[in-house]
Amino acid sequence: MRKIICFGEVLYDVYQDSKVLAGAPLNVASICSALGMDTFIVTAIPKNMEEELHRQLSIRGITPIFNYVKENIVEAKIELKKGVPNFSIDKKGSFDKIIIEKEIPKSDILYAGTLCQRSKISQESLHGIIDHNLEMLFVYDVNIRPGLEWEDIFRRTFIKAHVIKVNEHELELIRNIGIDLKKEAFRNKCKYLIVTKGEEGAELFTKDKNYSIGIKDTEVVDTTGCGDAFLSGFISKINNGAQSALEFASICAAAVAKHKGAFTKSIAEEIMNSKTPIKNQKD
């Protein structure tokens, strides 16, 4: 069984009428676990959340690697507009103080994003894992959030990544700081650059070849977590070839889009039983 370590934020997505446990690393860990991977999450939490989080992670089949802090768990307030989320995120909280207190298990894949690196404490913890586990495939989900000072974080991180995921807007923001990611990524360690394009699907770039995928025709309720599901599907099938991994990624994203929130208990069954054809498929 392949192992993945997801590093970073565990927070609450707060809707007008409810709140759910989320954060991109938790979303990815949840989907990867549902797809049969041996999954760990590295984060920091307040001690009073320990029982609830252990229970939630146990349901999702995720092994926690926690350190405990005084800070509260972060809340990300979400406003949906036609199923697309706008985020307003607390400026400080528990995931800003992730410290590695014990040895990290040997794994095949390490996943992390940008938001979890907004504090130097957590950023140094992540890069310590990267630099001391060079055999792991490092997956970097750029995932820029409003109000985040992301430029230096990105410059430090993308040069170490084997897989990089961005959306079209993020690609433009990166271009505005003088980096043509489609060129620069492959001058470093990157093997796969994924560019998600919303209703137009996604593109995958390698050093020698490009691939495209359309989106599955589905009724969209909430796109929160769709990018995380897409990346999880790709990760889980990465050894099956680029096009096959892209197609499965699209299936995973569509399954999440049908529900409010980024994870449901039945998501694995929905993914495996999905027969909805992909539209906008490009050869």
Q: Report the CATH number of the 3-279 domain.
A: 3.40.1190.20
pLDDT given for residue 1 in this prediction = 73
pLDDT given for residue 283 in this prediction = 33
- In whole angstroms, what is the distance from residue 66 CA to residue 42 CA? 6
Strands 75-81 vs 84-89: parallel, antiparallel or unpaired: antiparallel
Q: How many CB atoms lie within 10 A of CB 260?
A: 16
Per residue in 28-70, pLDDT (tens digit) is 999 899 889 999 999 999 999 999 999 999 999 999 999 999 9
pLDDT given for residue 220 in this prediction = 53
pLDDT given for residue 264 in this prediction = 57
**Ranges of residues in the chain whose predicted pLDDT is under 70:** 80-85, 215-225, 256-283
pLDDT given for residue 153 in this prediction = 98
pLDDT given for residue 141 in this prediction = 97
Q: Which residue has the tokens 């099938």?
A: 237
Q: Where are the beta strands (DSSP E) in the chain?
A: 3-7, 11-14, 19-22, 38-46, 62-69, 75-81, 84-89, 109-113, 137-141, 163-167, 192-196, 202-205, 210-213, 215-216, 278-279
pLDDT given for residue 138 in this prediction = 98
pLDDT given for residue 259 in this prediction = 59
pLDDT given for residue 217 in this prediction = 57
- In whole angstroms, what is the distance from residue 12 CA to residue 15 CA? 9
Instruction: Single out the residue of 66, 59, 14, 70 nearest to residue 33, CA to CA.
Output: 59
Residue 216, φ and ψ in degrees, nearest 5? -80, 140
Q: How close are the terminal C-alpha atoms of the chain, in Å?
A: 32
